Amino acid sequence: MPSRPEAAGFFQASYATLPERFFARADLAPVVAPKLIKLNRPLAAELSLDADFWGSDDGVAILAGNVSPKDVQPLALAYAGHQFGQFVPQLGDGRALLIGEAFGRDGSRREIQLKGSGRTRFSRGADGRAALGPVLREYVVSEAMAALGIPTTRALAAVTTGEAVYREQPQPGAIVARVAASHIRIGTFQYFAARGDHEGLKTLADYAIERHYPDAAAKDNPYLALLENVIAAQARLVARWMLVGFIHGVMNTDNMSISGETIDYGPCAFMDSYHPGTVFSSIDAGGRYAYANQPRIAVWNLARLAETLLPLLAGSEDVAVAAAEAALKQFQTAYDGVFHTGLRRKLGLFADYPEDLPLAGGLLEAMSANEADFTLVFRSLAGDLEAPAGEGTTRTLFTRSEDFDEWARRWKERLAREPEHDAGRRAMMLSVNPKYIPRNHRVEEVIRAAVDRSDFSPFEELVAVLAKPFDEQPGMERYTNPPLPDERVLRTFCGT
């Protein structure tokens, strides 16, 4: 019987107070040789967790799912979901365990889940494990998103298991400890709705309100307020993704968090050269989750959430449907608010003029026609503020530099309409246009070094660089480069 160490500041998840049918109480599935890859010490500190304990053998035993802390029962949560448009009434945590909760400095509850921790009642014949590659990808990309200021689950730690997992080829097994505001997904609501479990649905909605949107409780219609809040949070989130060129890759309803955090980093990637149709995921043959489709898909997913809530919204179905439709219409406004403001900031514009959107659209079009790199172009614009049109460095990022020059003339005219902002403009642009993003070929490189050579130093370096995405970081410039033709990674895999 493994010992049950104390882990100060770590508690049974409050989800365990919900009815038994919300989850499966799970047994641990110990692994042979857990080894810490990385503990996220700053995050541990934010959660008031003792990093020295979590980095010790006792801590690593918990992070590997070999031992649970005293008085804590791990849970696999039940959920359903639309996967690529097809409804699956039961998915659930097939390879993840909710092992507890900690508290952020602001007093908010944060759930800690082990992903890759072994089989559960929801594993559906699969092994319940995760391969090292996807674990490192989740660690790198989720932490990069956090550093960019985008709502996201975090990575508290990654461990290797000392066991092989069998995918196309045997891979080293690993587990990522993920931290989330909660793991309630649109699919969690769908799980109860699909069963006609009205009581369960209401209990879940009440719990989600209390946990994420407590102000909704005081509204005339708390469930409508819940829906409106989730819609607004998702709209803001997806707009933030679009502004940095992030492609989630698997926006199934089970991968959309009610809290509005980015969750489930599978075959995700950042776009290099700008193209609205960009897809990386190997399982997204139809391009359903392509870059430019993401806002539309978010609305589609939110419509599925709205459907589950109809019985709670009003006594009459017509009234409920009208309320849900009105709420869904608010998505566009919330999305546009963040996206348009974000685009203006990226271009260095403080004021709001009607020609700004067409101006931004013109740049994106020129990028698309010239295979220009999304991140480099925006970052480079700040350096061209003083350069006369036809000069500067941004133009060199376009195959036909004249296309940029033509656009730059419009941009300069627009900038001249608010000269009072000249002083703060550069700083604003550099604070919203990142220099360092987790470029897919760099993530792949890190994974190859770890998987093929057990070399984690590239992973360490990439994580460190991405922690300061807006800083210059002399000596690290190679991380800013888009892939050379032979470095290009066209497909990313879930590793499931």
| For Mg ion, the closer CB: 115 or 439 | 115
* 264 counts as binding Mg ion under rule CB under 5 A: yes
- Which segment (227-235, 261-269, 277-285, 391-399) binds Mg ion by CB under 5 A? 261-269
Which of 12, 182, 255, 301 is close enough to bind ligand AMP by CB under 6 A? 255
Sign of the four-CA dihedral 483, 489, 495, 496: positive
* Gap between the Cα atoms of 92 and 185, Å rounded: 10
**What is the dihedral sign for C-alpha 238, 83, 202, 121?**
negative
Q: How far is the CB of 103 from ligand AMP (least distance, A)?
A: 26
Q: Which option in ligand AMP, Mg ion, none does residue 496 bind, with CB closer than 5 to 8 A by kind? A: ligand AMP
Could you tell me if 446 and 457 are in contact, meaning their C-beta atoms sit under 8 angstroms apart? no
Q: How far is the CB of 249 from Mg ion (least distance, A)?
A: 11
| Contact call for residue 126 and ligand AMP (CB under 6 A) | yes
Residues binding ligand AMP: number (CB under 6 A): 17
Comparing CB distances to Mg ion, the nearer of 190 and 273 is 190
What is the distance between the alpha carbons of residues 422 and 434, in angstroms, rounded to a whole number? 20
Count CB atoms within 10 A of the CB of residue 125.
6
| 264 contributes a contact to ligand AMP by CB under 6 A | yes
Determine which helix (DSSP H) or strand (DSSP E) holds 24, and give its type and residue range. strand 23-25
Q: Does 95 bind ligand AMP (CB under 6 A)?
A: yes
The tokens for 176 are 């990522």
Query: What residues contact 142, with CB distance under 8 A and at least 6 apart?
Result: 152, 153, 154, 155, 178, 262, 265
The token duo for 384 is 């061209």
* 92 touches ligand AMP (CB under 6 A): yes
Question: Is residue 255 involved in binding Mg ion (CB under 5 A)?
Answer: yes
> What would the 3-class secondary structure string for 147-206 be?
HCCCCECEEEEEEEEEEEEECCCEEEEEEEEEEECCCCEHHHHHHHHHCCCHHHHHHHHH
- Point out the catalytic residue in the list 52, 57, 127, 254: 254
CB of 83 to Mg ion, least distance (A): 9
Contact yes or no for 35/162 (Cβ under 8 A): yes
Choice between 261 and 264, CB closer to Mg ion: 264
Distance, first Cα to last Cα, the chain: 31
Rounded Cα distance between 200 and 189, Å, is 9
Q: Does 496 bind ligand AMP (CB under 6 A)?
A: yes
Q: Minimum distance from CB of 255 to Mg ion (Å)?
A: 4
Q: Encoding tokens for residue 383?
A: 């350096």
Contact characters 2-21, ligand AMP, x per CB under 6 A: --------------------
C-beta of 93 vs 384, nearer to ligand AMP: 93
SS (H, E, C) 38-78: EECHHHHHHCCCCHHHHHCHHHHHHHCCCCCCCCCCCEEEC
Smallest gap, in angstroms, from Cβ of residue 93 to Mg ion?
Answer: 9
Q: Say how many residues touch Mg ion, by CB under 5 A.
A: 2
Cα–Cα nearest to 365, from 274, 258, 474 = 274
Residue (42 or 287) nearer to ligand AMP, CB: 287
Instruction: Say which entry of ligand AMP, Mg ion, none residue 481 contacts (CB below 5 to 8 A, set by partner kind).
Output: none
Q: Which of 43, 60, 78, 93: binder of ligand AMP (CB under 6 A)?
A: 93
- Stretch of residues binding Mg ion (CB under 5 A), selected from 108-116, 228-236, 259-267, 296-304: 259-267
Active site residue 71: no
In the stretch 198-237, what mask flags binding to Mg ion with x, by CB under 5 A? Answer: ----------------------------------------
Between residues 117 and 255, which has the closer beta carbon with respect to Mg ion? 255
Q: Pick from ligand AMP, Mg ion, none: which does 401 bind, CB < 5 to 8 A by kind?
A: none
Closest CB 17 distance from Mg ion, rounded Å: 24
Q: How far is the CB of 165 from ligand AMP (least distance, A)?
A: 8
CB of 248 to ligand AMP, least distance (A): 11
> Alpha-carbon distance 414 to 356, whole Å?
8
Q: Which residues contact 326 (CB under 8 A, 6 or more apart)?
A: none
d(CA 320, CA 327): 11
Sign of CA dihedral 215, 265, 84, 129: negative
Instruction: Tell me the catalytic residues.
Output: 254
What is the contact surface with ligand AMP in residues (CB under 6 A)?
A: 91-95, 122-123, 126-129, 250, 255, 264, 266, 494, 496
What is the contact surface with Mg ion in residues (CB under 5 A)?
A: 255, 264
